[in-house]
Structure 1
Amino acid sequence: GKEMRISHKDSVEICRAINGKRLAYAKKFLQDVADLKVAVPYKRFVTGLSHRRGFTNACSGAYPVKAATHILKLLENSEANAEFKGLDTERLFIKHIQAKRGKIIRGIIPRAMGRATPFNTTTTHIEVWLDER
């Protein structure tokens, strides 16, 4: 997906959590994250983030609903492309998934006394490779 309006930091943590997993497991995991049933374990962007229950070792986690739903749609689209190419969808796994920073959509908010402050929106590129196992 190109220039998706989702958090880059959340996308990096989700991609790390589902990389190398079977496609069916990854789709169920992302649906559970969107339904606030399972937290995504955070390894890198953990400043001010509390620990969550359900992890074997105490680690931070969060429920990035917007990023999870966007990545879930991307995985479903990738599954349809793989089926069109003749791959067996039951045997698919995520060979590679990566989130990269996209273009910044610049904006401003007018303030008092003739000032203005920036209001920028970050975008994220996500690349997915599926393969049969």
Structure 2
Amino acid sequence: MARFDYSNQVTGKDIARGRVNEAPISPKHAIEIAGFIRGMKLDDAAAYLEGVVALQKPIPFKRFNRNVPHRKGLVGWDAGRYPQKASRVYLRLLNNVRKNAEYNGLEGDQLRIVHVSANRGIRRRSFMPRAMGRATPKDRQTVNIELVVREQEA
């Protein structure tokens, strides 16, 4: 198995990190969510992503926005979607980072996301059954996500 390391070497005693490897979600959705929650407080990001899962708050699609419809509630941008599956993975990651921060002695309400990146992972080979006993090869995409938070002074 390959050795994984964080791409951004943020150091210090006031940080907590978390990582998800080979999550079976869309890389485009993961990249758009990463760009949106970067710089947010951890609690605010989790609350917003819960709204995305409930189909109440859209994620603005700024890079992969071809043929993406406009959504209500976006400030400064029109195109957006509700990537529920990717949002659930990010919520699990945010919860994991919060618990890592508490274990390190950091306060959960003072955490701000300083680094988040989503990269394409390996492609898993699968087959789609077709008529007459044939099958078409299909690659399933995975995503590697890393997140670093830092405790901010009140």
TM-score in terms of structure 1 length: 0.94
Instruction: Specify which of 71, 91, 114 is matched with residue 90 of structure 2.
Output: 71
Matched, 1:25 2:44: yes
Over the residues paired in the alignment, what is the CA RMSD in angstroms? Answer: 1.3
Q: What is the aligned length? A: 133
Q: Distance in 1 between matches of 2:120 and 2:64?
A: 15
Provide the rounded CA distance (Å) in 2 between the counterparts of 1:12 and 1:52: 19
Note if 1:94 corresponds to 2:113: yes
Listed as ranges, the gaps of 5+ residues in structure 2 are: 1-19
1:57/1:91 CA distance change after superposition, 3 Å: closer
Distance in structure 2 (CA, Å) of the matches to 1:42 and 1:102: 21
Give the percent of matched residue pairs that are identical in Structure 1 and Structure 2: 41
- Check 1:83–1:58 CA distance in 2 against 1; reply closer, same or farther (3 A cut): closer
Change (3 A) 1:118 1:130: same
1:60 to 67, 79, 100: 79
Tell me how far apart the structure 2 counterparts of residues 122 and 112 of structure 1 sit (CA, whole Å). 25
Letter in 1 for 2:110: R
Structure 1 unaligned segments of length 5 or more: list them: none
Matched to 1:49, the amino acid is V
**Counterpart code for 1:56:** V
CA deviations on 1:53-103 (whole Å, 9 max, x unpaired) are 112335200000010011001100011011101111110011101100001
Change (3 A) 1:85 1:58: closer
Per mean C-alpha deviation after superposition, the further-off stretch among 15-24 and 114-123 is 114-123
- Aligned residue for 2:23, secondary structure, equals coil
What letter is aligned with 1:24?
D
* CA deviation after TM superposition for structure 1 residue 119, in Å: 2.0
More helix by share: 1
